[in-house]
Amino acid sequence: MSITKKFYGKTPDGTEVDMFTLSNSNGMTAKIMNYGATITSIIVPDKSGKFDDVVLGYDKLDDYIANKLYFGAIVGRHANRIEDARFIINSTEYNVTKNEGENHIHGGLIGFDKVVWKAEVSTRGQDECLNLCYYSSDGEEGYPGNLDVKVTYTLTDDNELKLDYFATTDKDTVVNLTNHSYFNLSGHASGNILKHEVMINANKFTVNDKNSIPTGEIESVFDTPMDFTKLIPVENGINSKYQQIEFAHGYDHNWILNKGKEKAAEAFDASSGRVMDVYTTEPGIQFYTGNFIYESKNCKDGANYARRSGLCFETQYFPNSLKHKHFPSPILRAGDEYKNSTIFKFSIK
């Protein structure tokens, strides 16, 4: 696996942004830039050997800067929603930016998706990997503590794109990092993902209110359209009258992953034969069907995206977990290390 680097553009304040291309011996490539530590392309073969880019994105840096959909980016400090944009740690209340009505989403107005990360290529065994680091200072977007964050991207010869997340803090804080890629295994410009089949290794999910905030209730997926314990087409349940799906206008929920080392999720596209398996150390996964991608014209390669053009598997701590003591805690204590990994593995069948 090798990595090349090329100048990509400049942010409005003149900071240079580079694009890194990770390539493996099978001809698979992944492009990642250090603005937002963003995955901008993943090119993999289909069952007839034809290569296609399977993630949504843009051609130009300016479009990523203006992008409100988090295409391919790392989101943090806290992925997804924090109710009322406030939480308590060690009896102190912290107020974070309200950037979705009264609530907070994906780290605020200038979250980790909207900053330039420091990039460095290193070697791990036989593979080169891309390390992206960001120093988030105490009080940024309202979060306590100075936080050192590192995300390492590695592409293996088994067609796995591996994301390793690390963070340390000097004051107790909250950390919940994820990647927000929108996948379309037929090719990023090929229309909607309704025919994709999905498996999520979860018997339970967290119930949302109408603002997509977990209420604290946990429900079984069985006998509901939330049951993805076996591969089923997304289109089967996405328009059902089930209240959770009506609230979100599709799938946009956190599934509680069954514990164990098996895969967390799978997406399969029969037309191309492409498969993506997801493995993670995280307790939850936000399966989101691009319900709010309103028409976006002139995106990557001139593509026009519309509602449901891509699906996301955002591995994570549960949204709103600071409010619900029975959810796994996303609090990182000073002196401890936040460490999580997620793998997106591509194959054909």
Q: How far apart are CA 344 and CA 349, in angstroms?
A: 16
Contact between residue 225 and residue 239 where contact means Cβ atoms under 8 Å apart:
no
Do the strands 38-45 and 29-33 form a parallel or antiparallel pair, or are they unpaired? antiparallel
Helix (H, G, I), strand (E, B) or coil at 64: helix
Measured between its terminal Cα atoms, the distance across the chain in Å is: 24
Encode 200-222: b = buried (16+ Cβ within 10 Å), e = exposed.
bbbebbbbbeeebbbeeebeebe
Upstream peptide bond of 77 is cis (omega within 30 degrees of 0): yes
Q: Per the residue annotation, which of 78, 83, 314, 324 is the catalytic one? A: 314
Amino acid letter at 180? H
Q: How far apart are CA 90 and CA 116, in angstroms?
A: 31
Neighbours of 328 (CB within 10 A): 14
* Annotation says 180 is catalytic: yes
**CB closer to ligand BGC, 35 vs 71:** 71
Q: Per the residue annotation, which of 78, 104, 106, 180 is the catalytic one? A: 180
Q: How far apart are CA 181 and CA 204, in angstroms?
A: 23
CB of 81 to ligand BGC, least distance (A): 7
CB of 79 to ligand BGC, least distance (A): 7
**CB closer to ligand BGC, 79 vs 132:** 79
**CB closer to ligand BGC, 104 vs 150:** 104
- Kindly list the residues in this chain that would bind ligand BGC in the complex (CB under 6 A): 69-70, 80, 106, 212, 252, 286, 288, 292, 314
* Annotation says 314 is catalytic: yes
**HSE of 143, CA atoms in CB hemisphere, 13 A:** 33
In the bound state, the residue with its beta carbon closest to ligand BGC is: 292
**CB closer to ligand BGC, 80 vs 152:** 80
**CB closer to ligand BGC, 113 vs 269:** 113
CB of 286 to ligand BGC, least distance (A): 5
Q: What are phi and psi of 247, to 5 degrees?
A: -55, -45
Contact between residue 205 and residue 226 where contact means Cβ atoms under 8 Å apart:
yes
CB of 32 to ligand BGC, least distance (A): 20
CB of 222 to ligand BGC, least distance (A): 23
**CB closer to ligand BGC, 171 vs 204:** 204
CB of 254 to ligand BGC, least distance (A): 8
Q: How far apart are CA 125 and CA 278, in angstroms?
A: 23
Residues annotated catalytic, as ranges: 180, 314
